[in-house]
Structure 1
Amino acid sequence: MRVSAFRARRFAVVTGVALALTVIVAPSALAYWHSAGAGSGAGTTGTLAAPTGVTASASGATVTVNWTAPTPPSGTLAGYTVIRYAGATPSNACGTDPANSATFIPAGTLTCADPSVPAGTYTYTVIAVWRSWTAESAASSTVTVTAVLKWFGDGTLGQGGVADFSAELSPTQESTGATTWNAVSSGGSNGCATRTDHTLWCWGLNTSGQLGVGGLLQASPTQITGTTWAAVGTGSSYTCATKTNGTLWCWGDNSVGELGQGNLTAQASPVQVGALTTWATVSAAAGDTCATKTDGTLWCWGNNSQGQIGIGSIVTPQKSPVQVGVATTWATVEVGDQHACATKSDGTLWCWGNNADYQVGIGNNVTPQMSPIQVGVATTWASVSAGSSHTCGTQTDGTLWCWGRNNNGQAGVGNYATRQFTPAQVGVATTWATVGAGSAFTCATRTGGGTLWCWGVNTNGQLGAGNTTQTNVPGQVGALSTWAAVGAGGLGHTCAPKADGTLWCWGQNTYGQLGDGATRATSTRVQVGAATSWTSAGSGTSHACGVLAAGTLWCWGQNNYGQLGVGSTATKYVPTQVAGTTWATVAVGTIFTCATKTDGSLWCWGYDGDGQLGIGIVAIQTSPVRVGLLNTWTQASAGAGGTCATRTDHTLWCWGLNNVGQVGIGNVVTPQGTPVQVGAAVTNWDTVTVGYSHTCATRTDHTLWCWGDNTGGQVGIGSVATPQVSPVQIGAAVWNTVGLGWLYSCATRTDGTLWCWGRNVNGQLGIGSVSPQTSPVQVGAATTWNTIAAAHAHTCATRTDSTLWCWGQNTYGQLGLGDYTQRTSPTQLSGTATRVVAGVLADQTFTLG
């Protein structure tokens, strides 16, 4: 998809900031006579003066031009036109065309707004028109439009490009801080964007090579080789882009021929599509790709199961570009999940493909539509965006129209009618500029300041409004939230990074685990060092680690088993760097640590008496040691004596202490010194969480499975039968996130409810009592729980309104409530949070903001 397209659960937008720079002087004002032919007769004589005092200023991507009116020889002026100059190259800004009076700015108007101006430096002139005379003003001072790239919504795979793996409810600038972004395209879990210097940058998930660079994940924009990139379209697991020489290149997954190479071979770096040099635009989605050529023809390839290639059949896959019809007037094309839409140079709109939800916009749901079919009779379509099952487009009069699926209000028409059969106008505004349709939400910009508006589903903050409240009408994107993530673990202390990148801790500090250089406990927050770029943090029993945006890893606290990874066993009272600059995530166990790097490799260090480092049984490792040679690790979780991790093929592997079956391999043979696969026939594991002596994992179908020690009822099977040596499914509900503590478990469901079970001596289950539970019990009646983290005997969780709640043991002030009082029900903290992630075991909480 191109800049107007959205994928999955997030939104990327290029925003503008303007700065006035130097002044340049243009040639003197001139007067021109445009009439042609010969003849005789009386005529008016005189001089048409040019407009004066021309100024230009930018707000976002809109440049406002003002001027002083000239006096015509007689009568009144016909109007004005405004010209934008990029160097010596002119383009019409306002008033469109000096030769077409119907487009003039009225004579009484002395200002105009030039919307959606690309990043760059410009001057403006104003042309006064009187009869057939024109007079062009001197140039304004230069105005520079700088474009920053921001995102909001789901970022768990680094697809926000902000150097972390968390969601954002409000717009957050990507991590490089560049101000020359030109256009952006977002895929399912990855994104790419071009800059004005024609470089191309990608970020997010890279399991299929869709980023065109190495590594499994890239949490920050990473440059693709080359400096002549023109436009980019990002699909769910692949990318295509054009260069300034008109060539087309694709890379990533190719299982349905989406790379256009004539085969099904994936590519980890850009490969050229054919040898042509006439490609103009490209759009990519869920395995189907379309592109236009400079001759106005349209070509598509890839998945065609719903006729989305538009060639009159559903023969699939199409492994090479196939021409769509014979028309040579195609202007733009946008590909959705299983349908596509395109505009022609005559202003008509055409759609095709899956039409089960009326997304083709023809008034019926006959599906598939295997060839382009015109949407209505309008000839004023300006732009279009195809989402998952709905479509939106703007018209030349500035109106916005949507149709298709609307169960989440994504059509923006003020209701939740399941479907809109034909294009329906969104409100009455006539200032819409661009639009992007996502999976079940929509965002669009307006002219006159470049404001941004979103509507539809908002479960992951994809509306950027600072909350997760769904809406069926456009709402302007609001301000940033304070906190971004929270996690629980440790032994009596809490740490919380803030939105400004600083890190704060409180609670027990016997071994310097607060990282403030002291050993005194505190129930108020103290800052860890002076760094302002912390992206994640976690902790064990008495040590903690965190990753900075630059890819460096830092650890502090107790180090008697080398768990800090700094090459010694000396306790560190302040953050100390672990060698390397490509660290991605960290999982902190009780007295050991594991971390992944950006290349997908896994490394562990610290105590290994039970094989928890995955490298065989050794004493201790004071520096990181690689676990095998694979580069396919996606997520790791470290507990008291064992570790589990998932791979890119959705297999699950565990190792370490197995005395109560916590490795999940059907026995209690212990220890397991190297990774062992859990369930050889299961290849749909999603996430895994390791507790003190039990483990739980979710699958891609959102079922929940637990195993290991069950003496406290923490496995959740309705009894304390122990051990459970193989994964056991917990109920039939659809589970979302999991947090495991010492002998208890908590998890959220997809309906937003929160459930806990197991040991409850300190009220850590949050059910208003200290009674243990052997099956999941709902925590309160709220249906807005988002993420959960369980620790030694306390629990913290976030809600969809970004509020943060904690309960349970508070001996060391680990609940962050400013006291040491235990709570048996969720109690709200100040500030907000969008995600909760567990460190390990005991009693500390981590928030990432």
Structure 2
Amino acid sequence: MRRFGVPTVLWKQLAGAGVAALSLAAIAAFVPSPAAAQDSTSNDTTAQVRIVARKLENGRIEFALQPAETDNTWGDRLLPKTRYFPPTAPTGRWLASSPLTIGTTKARIVARKLENDRIEFALQPAKTDNTWGDRLLPKTRYFPPTAPTGRWLVSSPLTLEPTPQPTPTRTPNQFTTITAIENHTCGLRTDKTITCWGNNDYGQTETPKGQFTTISIGRSRSCGLRTDKTIKCWGVNSNGQSKAQEGQFTAVTAGYGHSCGLRTNKTITCWGNNLWGQARAPQGQFTAIAVSQTYSCGLRINKTITCWGDNFNGKTEVPEGEFTAITVDLSHSCGLRTDKTITCWGRNDYGQAEAPQGQFTATTTGWLHSCGLRTDKTITCWGGDDSNKRTEAPEGQFTAITTGQAHSCGLRTDKTITCWGNNHSYQAEAPEGQFTAITAGDSHSCGLRTDKTITCWGNNRTGQAEAPGVQFTAIATGQNHLCGLRADKTIRCWGYNPLGWTNPPEGQFTAITAGYRHSCGLRTDKTITCWGDNDLGQAEAPKGQFTAVSAEAWDTCGLRTNKTITCWGRNTDSQTESPEGQFTAIGSNNCGLRTNKTITCWGDSLNSFFVEALGEALEGQFTAISAGTMHICGLRTNKTITCWGRNIYAYGQREAPEGQFTAISAEARYACGLRTDNTIICWGDTNLGIG
């Protein structure tokens, strides 16, 4: 993690062109301006609003929007979540509130301090592409420094047009990974390109062209792992930290002044600042690397950890034993042992290296504190000076955790985010909605929503919390690749691509499915097209029309329009010898739902993978089935779920919860069900942040 203090900023900052400044009266309204500004004409599809603001006792300016009612009066004030203009705001720079929705219009209030200490206000509507349009300037729009404390002043009215809705053919703008640091943020898009935003003093947000599989950001710079396994870095290069080494790599991580890469032969190469020896990697083979400011650590193939570089506070003196993961901060580190306990070492003046007892599935380190995700899905934090309650983790169950400088965020099992700790920039005030991943910078945080768009919050002094955004209608995961079905029915794939796994064909599709190294799509004309690895014929789809397709590791099955099943690909276990009869659905692992609502599975692999509780599970009637790697779940006609197969690694993926459900989805080592009350519950493997 990166640890440097940042000034308190309560507003989002927005770079913009200058606007003519005019005067303002200090009684009960903003003073009119002779400059060109929007008038108050409107029609049936528009909304009239005005900006209202008042001075607080601490010198901050609170502002809101006030919509017009149909009887020509003004309605209740609408308060943005981020709505205070600080007295220490820089002169001339536009700052922005969090957005508000008025009818069908989304807009935000923007303001800036002028040289005469007046505050100029404007309104900025949202555009179709999730960016912000031109500022709308009310004729009366200046807040005077001599305004009385506590009294609301108002601008002249503005007319807002409805926010344009995106067309169905719009190209989505989605991400698969996000990572944040002190003053900039980067995201890896679904097309494998990188987009960065925030501070750009050293060109750290000027991303190179090309496709990438991984991204890591350090202070004022970024590094990406290209699809050809070479590394590209950009940004500050004062110590050669952005001059990546040649060769092929499987991982890269960027620290403050140096970077390290894990080569395909499992050795580590580092470059950049080596004042403390932090870029002088030891010999041997490793599976993971982590770097801080003055030292680095690697997880060896024998599961021991080796650290090198600055040893102040003993931060490179790693305890003995075997580990599965490691996390580092400025002056202390923590490792997750093979027995799921946590051991920390290094600086410990606030107890940040005194890990509690118990079993954990993940650990993360902040500046003066650490946190761990327990096997029961609760979070425990330790250390810190307790000035901002950074170690007071909330109750409840979580699937992932991340730490910033003095705050932390957790992803709950219901896919909502909760943050706690330092909140001077609102970095601990997570937005509403559902998410699948989170990351925390020093004083801002970002989440990847279930629609694969990114939302950021907190310190936005350099625009690091202004994320771009978009959508998919379906997604399928292979071994090391993913494919998504866009709203315009085209397919976009990303991930590892040695044999064309992520090169989908052109055209429109209604469904997608992915095996280990191949993918298939059901076209709008009901034919199937597959691509990727075809060494066993798994990508050679037969002719004819189909209503569904399901890809297994090395074989594929399709449900024809006459309700019969045809399979192709590897047949070592008779998995392509589908049974006769009519079916209404197919699932992976060679199982089908018959028209009489019973389930039939085929293939000799059935005896080894699904022998446990198989006979009992297949009795009765079902309305849906879904399969993971070694388990299958079915939704019965009474809306209960039954799973069978193997609880591989004792994750509990076969142990479906009680209650009634309307949908079921099983993946590799877990499953999730949608209850009749529209809540989601998952069970099985929690080590991937999905249980």
The answer to whether TM tops 0.5 is no
TM-score by length of 1: 0.28
TM-score by length of 2: 0.34
